[in-house]
Amino acid sequence: MPEPLHLNNPLAERRLFNARMAICLLLVVLMAAGLIARAAYLQLFQHDQYATLSDENRLRLQPVAPTRGLIYDRNGILLADNQPSFTLVVVRERAKDLDQLLLDLQEIIEISDREIQRFQKRRKRSGAFFASLPLKFKLSDEEIATLAVNQHRLPGAEIRAQLVRNYPVSELTTHVVGYVGRINERELKKIDRVQYSVTNHIGKTGIEKFYESVLHGQVGNQKVETDAQGRVLRTLDRIDPVPGDDIYLQLDIELQRVADKALEGRRGAVVAIEIESGGVLAMVSKPSFDGNKFVTGIDSKSYNQLRDSLDLPMFNRAIRGVYPPGSTIKPFIGLAGLDTRVVNYYSRVRDPGWYQLENDERFYRDWKKGGHGWTVNLSQAIIESCDTYFYDLSFKLGIDQIHNYLGQFGFGQPSLRDLPGEASATLPSRGWKKTTYGKTWYHGETLLAGIGQGYFSATPMQLATATATFGNKGKTVQARLLMTDQSSHWSKLDRQKLPDVELKNPQDWDYLFKSMERVVHSPKGTARRIGVGSEYRIAGKTGTAQVVGIRQGEEYDGEALEEHQRDHALFVGFAPVQAPKIAVAVVIENGEHGSSVAAPVARKLFDAYLLNGLIPSLSSEEKL
């Protein structure tokens, strides 16, 4: 069958084409109108919204860290400042191959495996985009130069300059000033996230911790333009941070140095307080350590060494060390005896070398075999530190009166208000024993409390404060580290001051001062050695505190005991007696003799303060 012939009809075809073309053009116009309408919708009707989104894209508010306030001693000598330090940081988003980069860096400069581990830990914790993660702190000039030369082939590795806390005389001051360290997770929960958004360090101990809010300052911020990678291109606007306030401490670094030297090679603590102001002139706890190591993170070897040392260098003995005060509290007990009229200046006690309670077979021994004689009065008992006299006095006073009077001097509660972590120690009472042990009080325990043993304990800071109040004739001295003229910072920690100690007969002060003076300045005084050749008069009291109990019938033999079990040596005192300016408490662990070991330390402090102190500015400049 032949194929039917189809003929083209040009005119019809043209008409058809024109019609179809018209339809297409209509569609074209409609679609173009749609696109233009879409553009108009985005650009005219939703412009504001998209303009905002565009700004949000590129503008960031970056916090700017405030500079931490400095810490000075009373003469304006720097105890804590901020020094530029260079840190190697890695921005992982900019590194092509992170593992390779770390290997390359390790080839160029020394980076320990430990530092790599810490870096990996930080990396896992940080979720932020383009975060600078520190890899190595405190780069040396040489390392900086090496890194700078190789920078082009190390994308992702950058050097950041930042201010790092520095303690010029850390070994001397770390138990007072403390140190800052990286903010940990527990602290993170407490702090103001906005204020600390760019702060890496926070006060961990000491003044750094206590006055954190004063030292830290206010965070600032800047508006920056960034690209899609988060790189900052320029700063558009800036609110400067407010630097933290500087802090002046009562501490006299020269006196601190003297005290530190006097305790060289010992375990112990010294606290010196200016009686007029209550300012802590010196506060030393030995051994000490270098707080700078903690600022950028101490390596575990050094840390373990510090932690495991039997000498406990990190333990702040001045405020946390709880020691039996021993005989150093005898003047306070005597004062209670006089004021309660239990004894007077002429009351005498026979001392055969021991004391016995009725219906008690136990012997309460005096430190001196054979006793202090047949007629021991209060003054003599203080001068020679007669235990028997004070057994008798304590028994007559009773624990309630002891607790009452010694409480007025601040025993049994923290005395320094501007350091964290001070121990309360124990001023025992019936109530205390009941709640602590659930047992009733025994008379024998009163006797031990009366010579500063048994349950009685105190910190060196408490001893110094109580001695200062004593030297101030009962007018309460409040110990503190902050200088007086910085009252704005002080106000926030003001507490109710202890009431002054008012005696019925103020002459009792003179009697007790005289007795304490004769401890130092009379041939029979226990601290007579330190009175030799002094240009001023010292009032003091020695103490020896037992570390291990001595059983009935045994005698103390220092030679036979382990070094750590020997008696603690103590001394408290103030000078000059006529117008007391400075009070000192010294505790030397296992020093055995208050008179020969502890008292000379106090003498050095008195000399330094009272003799050199006449021209304090000159003396401090000369020595630095």
Partner 1 sequence: MRKTYQHQFPDYQSRKPLPGPLKTVANLDFILLFMIVLLSGFGLVVLYSASEQSDAIMVRQSSYLAAAFGGMFILAQIDPRHLERLATPLFILGTALLIAVLLMGTGAKGAQRWLAIPGLPRFQPSELMKLVVPIMVASYLARRPLPPSLKHLFFSCFFILVSVGLIARQPDLGTSILIGASGLFVIFLAGVPWKVISIALIAALASLPGLWFLMRDYQRQRVLTLLDPERDPLGAGWNTIQSKIAIGSGGMEGKGWLNGTQSHLDFLPEGHTDFIIAVLGEELGFLGVLSVMVLYLLIVARGSYIALTADGTFNRLLAGSITLTFFVYVFVNVGMVSGLLPIVGVPLPLVSQGGTSLITLMAGFGILMSIHSHRSLMQQ
Contacts with partner 1, residue ranges (CB under 8 A): 6-10, 12-14, 16-18, 20-21, 24-25, 28-29, 31-32, 34-36, 38-40, 42-44, 46-47, 49-51, 53-54, 57-58, 225-229, 233
In the bound state with partner 1, the residue whose beta carbon lies nearer, of 7 and 310, is 7
Q: Please, which residue, 53 or 611, has the CB nearer to partner 1?
A: 53
CB of 128 to partner 1, least distance (A): 14
Whether 244 contacts 66, CB under 8 Å: yes
Q: Where are the alpha helices (DSSP H) in 126-218?
A: 141-150, 170-177, 185-190, 206-210, 212-216
Query: Residue 622 has which token pair?
Result: 């000369």
Nearest distance, CB of residue 59 and partner 1, angstroms: 9
Q: How far apart are CA 51 and CA 47, in angstroms?
A: 6
| Nearest CB to partner 1, comparing residues 52 and 413 | 52
Instruction: Report the distance separating Cα 192 and Cα 599, nearest Å.
Output: 48
Q: State the alpha helices, DSSP H only, in 75-179.
A: 98-108, 113-125, 141-150, 170-177
Complex with partner 1: residue 36 or 194, whichever CB lies closer: 36
Q: Which residue is catalytic, options 285, 327, 347, 620?
A: 327
**Is 212 in a helix, a strand, or coil?**
helix
Nearest distance from residue 29's CB to partner 1, in Å?
8
User: What's the min distance (Å) between Cβ of 53 and partner 1?
Assistant: 5
Contacts of 375 (CB under 8 A, 6+ apart): 348, 349, 350
> By C-beta, is 55 or 510 nearer to partner 1?
55
- Least distance in Å: CB of 63 to partner 1? 21
Instruction: State whether residue 379 is helix, strand or coil.
Output: helix
When the beta carbons of 20 and 261 are compared against partner 1, the nearer one is 20
**Torsional sign, CA 559, 560, 564, 566:** negative
Please give the angle made by the CA atoms of 475, 285 and 260, to the nearest 5 degrees.
Answer: 95
Give me the least distance between CB of 152 and partner 1, in Å please: 22
Q: Is 429 a catalytic residue?
A: no
What DSSP assignment string belongs to 384-439? TT-HHHHHHHHHHHHHHHHHHHHHHTTTTS--BSSSTT--------HHHHHHHHS-
DSSP structure string for 531-586 = HTT-SS--EEEEEEE-SS---TT----GGGS-GGGSPEEEEEEEE-SSS--EEEEE
Report, in angstroms and rounded to the nearest whole number, the Rg of the chain calculated over CA atoms.
37
| Residues classed as catalytic | 327
